[in-house]
Chain A
Amino acid sequence: MLSYVELENFRGFERFRLAGLSRVNLLVGENNCGKSSLLEATTLLAKGGDLRALVDFARQRGETAYSEVYEVCFPDVRHFFYGHCVDDRSEALIIGDNDRLQVSIDRTNLRDFEAAYPGARSLEESMYLPVDAVLLVRGGVNGSDGIIVPVIENGRIHDSVLDLYAAKIRSASRDRPYVGYMLPSAMTLDEIGRYWDHAVVTRREMEVISALQIIEPRLNNIFFLSGGLKAGPNGGARGVLLELDGESVRIPLGSVGDGSRRLLGLALALIRYRDSVLLLDEIDAGLHYSIMPRLWHLIVETARQSNMQVFATTHSSDCVRGLAQFCREHPELQEEVSLQKISCELEESVALHAEEIILADEQRMEVR
């Protein structure tokens, strides 16, 4: 479990330290203070510096740049470096309890690239890559010597490079813990289906139903349509149906509101893996304030049982108040949570633990 995460020259942080971490951590702070960047850094750390995660984040944020050579958009990694620009040599550091990741772009020494890829000239020619820099990732799955990948056109990474990269790190990444990153948008039906299959196989489907009862106490059961039925005017081929007390028909998940879908996704993600890291951006999106204490109980209890560390973000005072209420109601679980206030003006997060979270709530302090 991470007790701290340190950043240097990463995203909007010249230097920053997320300290005093617990099992479940709620990150708060004004817009553009870097909460999502901290989730990204934590993900990269937990994934051992897997470059594919870096590229996924670039795509999720729309940080792609159009290549006139290829007439498509490629992920642009310049935005991961403080100031969004890359000099001849720029370096970002992400440090945690057991890992030290170094991500650097170097324009000055392409010999490293040629050494890493014997026959680099032919690689360059076969991929039509006008390589003008190298991206070096050291630490974690990349090993202490690091892995070098070519960078084209001032910071862009060609997709085909990732295939080469994946082949190189496959064995190293196999032993890493699962890292889940959940965006505010609910899971797709396909994702929900895959996760549900796992819940059924591991006989944990009742936990999912219990979680969903936080929102819908009348829920008796959940049924997944396999897709065997032909899609027609009355509905799609696949779907989720809820059996509710007092209803003569089973209700499609889509008919009971976004909150149910969001909570279903959350519950499935929570029970999917053990010994893992789960990151939940805008955790309370689509959820009513009244369920927050029970939601926190679900998250903390599940995280504890599954040896999982959770990082969540919010802008909502209801979500923070819900955490305070949870701390009051469950003194036995108080040491499992922290609230991390992020501010652009500080180089370290302000960590509040249960006693202070309750105090701040009682005295109506603005901690967001």
Chain B
Amino acid sequence: MATSMERSALHVEGKDDLYAIVNLLMRHGVDYENRRSELPELREIGSCEKVLVGMETAVKTSTGRAIGFVLDADSPIENRWNAVRVRLQRVDVVVPGTPLPVGFVAESAKYKSTVGV
């Protein structure tokens, strides 16, 4: 549960991902345009590599709130997942060996942040 007054955030690779998330929200009845400031902040990071590079710092600085990462599940998915797993394990998040079709949500025990991929 979020305890910080700061907003939760979702890191996405590029503009396409940003629009995809906004459309998903709207499709599910979330009035994104008018409620944008109340919702988690969507951050366009620029590329998959940049999302991966910033992952640990983002978890470390998200105590008391949620931090999510949206990454393309392309080019051997095992490699991509392993890159995520290695980084999240360094910030005390227990990550399964293979990605789950429904997505992944867990807590960082050390930094007390909720992490989603």
Contacts and interface: CB of A to CB of B under 8 A. Distances in A.
A-B complex is real: yes
Interface of A: 30, 341, 343, 345-346, 350, 352, 356, 359-360, 362-368
8 contacts: A30-B5, A345-B112, A346-B111, A350-B61, A363-B54, A365-B58, A366-B6, A367-B61
B53 A359 contact: yes
B43 A366 contact: no
A251 B80 CA distance: 63
A367 B57 CA distance: 9
A343 B63 CA distance: 7
A346 B62 CA distance: 11
Interface string B61-96: 101100000000000000000000000000000000
B55 to A, nearest CB: 10
Contacts of B50: 363
Given A30-B4, A345-B3, A345-B112, A365 B57 contact: yes
Which 8 pairs, one residue from A and one from B, show the smallest C-beta to C-beta distance? Answer: A343-B63, A363-B54, A356-B57, A367-B61, A345-B112, A350-B60, A366-B6, A359-B57
A364 B50 CA distance: 12
Contacts, number: 53
Given A30-B5, A366-B6, 16 more contacts: A30-B6, A345-B3, A345-B64, A345-B112, A346-B63, A346-B112, A350-B63, A352-B60, A352-B61, A359-B53, A360-B54, A363-B11, A363-B45, A363-B54, A363-B58, A366-B61
Main secondary structure of the interface of A (DSSP, over half): loop
A363 B63 CA distance: 17
B57 A360 contact: yes
A341 B54 CA distance: 17
Q: How large is the interface on B (under 10, 10 to 19, 20 to 34, 35 or more residues)?
A: 20 to 34
Nearest to B53: A359
B9 A343 contact: no
B23 to A, nearest CB: 22
A343 B61 CA distance: 10
Nearest to B45: A363
A359 B58 CA distance: 9
A363 B45 CA distance: 6
Nearest to A356: B57
